[in-house]
Amino acid sequence: MTQAQTGQEQAGTLAGKKVAVLMTDGVEQVEYLEPRRFLEQHGAQVTLISPKAKGEQVQGFNHMTPGDKFEVEMDVRDARPTEFDALVLPGGVANPDQLRLSTESISFIREFGREDKPIAAICHGPWTLIDAGLAKARHVTSWPSLQQDLRNAGADWTDDEVVVDGKLVTSRKPDDLPAFNDALLRELQTSAQAASTGPSS
């Protein structure tokens, strides 16, 4: 197989997969843009979901500096976890802080946990896992300032590039994005293989 053929095969790995990205103002934009680009390159359909209305703008940030604005593609009130194969939770300080005040957003995350579908949270993104009741007894990582909050919620926190616990993927910061993306890809591929083979007899 040629390198071009290998690339094409990789590009379609996630064909038919739908991934939700839940975020609002204050999102660390590279933690949205890079996973989205990566997933779309592999054939997935990505939807920007927010507690804002469809068509409104989400203000991205580069650390503390305002960056680009991104159009909301679906209001979280209209989103159903059953319609998606995975959930991505980017960081940025203000973004998850606001999502924690959105009961619809927390319910959306909680339902993903109940559906046992892949959830990938990076940087400050894992903060919302606490409110959704998904941090207790889980092995996670995050931006260092969240470690005490996560431990208080019953999580086992470690300072690692990427941590995979079941179908929960967590990372610490933008520098970890390559490992974060690869781990999410593996989770989606594993889920796809499990779905195609069906329950074992």
Report the CATH number at residue 81.
Answer: 3.40.50.880
Q: Is 124 a catalytic residue?
A: yes
Q: Is 123 a catalytic residue?
A: yes
Separation of alpha carbons 170 and 19, rounded Å:
16
Q: Is 3 inside any structural domain?
A: no
Separation of alpha carbons 201 and 199, rounded Å:
6
The two three-digit tokens of residue 3, written as one number:
């390198």
* pLDDT, averaged across the chain: 92
Please report how the helices 177-197 and 30-41 are oriented relative to each other, as an axis angle in degrees rounded to 10.
40
Q: Is 134 inside any structural domain?
A: yes
Task: Determine what percent of the chain is predicted with pLDDT higher than 70.
Answer: 90
Residue 37's Cβ-side half-sphere holds a number of Cα atoms within 13 Å equal to: 8
Query: Quick check: 18 pLDDT over 80?
Result: yes
Lowest mean pLDDT among 161-165, 188-192, 195-199: 195-199
Query: Quick check: 199 pLDDT over 70?
Result: no
Q: Is 66 inside any structural domain?
A: yes
Q: Is 31 inside any structural domain?
A: yes
Specify the pLDDT at position 195: 64
Q: Is 198 inside any structural domain?
A: no
Maximum separation of any 2 CA atoms in the chain, in Å: 55
For 183, the domain range is: 15-190
Specify the pLDDT at position 1: 39
Specify the pLDDT at position 85: 97
- What is the tens place of the pLDDT at every residue in 41-61? 999 999 999 999 999 999 999
Catalytic choice (42, 63, 123, 139): 123
Q: Is 9 inside any structural domain?
A: no
Query: Quick check: 81 pLDDT over 50?
Result: yes
Specify the pLDDT at position 28: 98
Catalytic choice (42, 63, 124, 139): 124
Query: Quick check: 14 pLDDT over 80?
Result: yes
Q: Is 40 inside any structural domain?
A: yes
Domain count, the chain: 1
Specify the pLDDT at position 54: 98
Lowest mean pLDDT among 9-18, 35-44, 169-178, 181-190: 9-18
Banded pLDDT at 5 (limits 50, 70, 90) = very low
- What is the tens place of the pLDDT at every residue in 177-188? 999 999 999 999
> For the residues 14-41, what does the mean pLDDT come to?
97
Q: Is 61 inside any structural domain?
A: yes
Specify the pLDDT at position 29: 98
Query: Quick check: 201 pLDDT over 60?
Result: no
Specify the pLDDT at position 7: 44
Q: To which H or E segment does residue 194 belong?
A: helix 177-197
Query: Quick check: 3 pLDDT over 50?
Result: no
Within 10 A of 152 (CB to CB), how many other CB atoms are there?
10
